[in-house]
Amino acid sequence: MQVRPYRAEDEAEVIALWESCGLTRPWNSAKKDITRKSKVDPELFLVGVRDGHVIASAMGGYDGHRGWVNYLAVAPAFQRR
């Protein structure tokens, strides 16, 4: 697996990954979350890619004091490896 920064062309695969991992909610738009992250600290949004497909993600944040991780996901077929 290669870890690299998120790219706009990853959007559909990332959202599908989040859905397969049960991370999305009907009242919270994943597309809007991606758009917001792309504007603030986009270097903290990483994806794991294997054979050209997104199989993992981590969306980090940092406010100057604390850090956090949102949308930490690994495709079910690759979990526990």
Q: What is the mean pLDDT of residues 23-48?
A: 96
H or E element, residue 72: strand 67-74
Averaged pLDDT for residues 54-58: 98
For 5, the 3-state DSSP assignment is strand
Q: Would you place residue 81 in the very low, low, confident or very high pLDDT band (cuts 50, 70, 90)?
A: confident
**Domains in the chain: ranges and CATH:** 2-78 (3.40.630.30)
Q: Which residues, 6+ apart, have CB-to-CB distance to 69 below 8 Å?
A: 58, 59, 60, 61
User: What pLDDT is attached to residue 59?
Assistant: 97
pTM listed for this prediction: 0.92
| Average pLDDT, integer, range 5-23 | 98
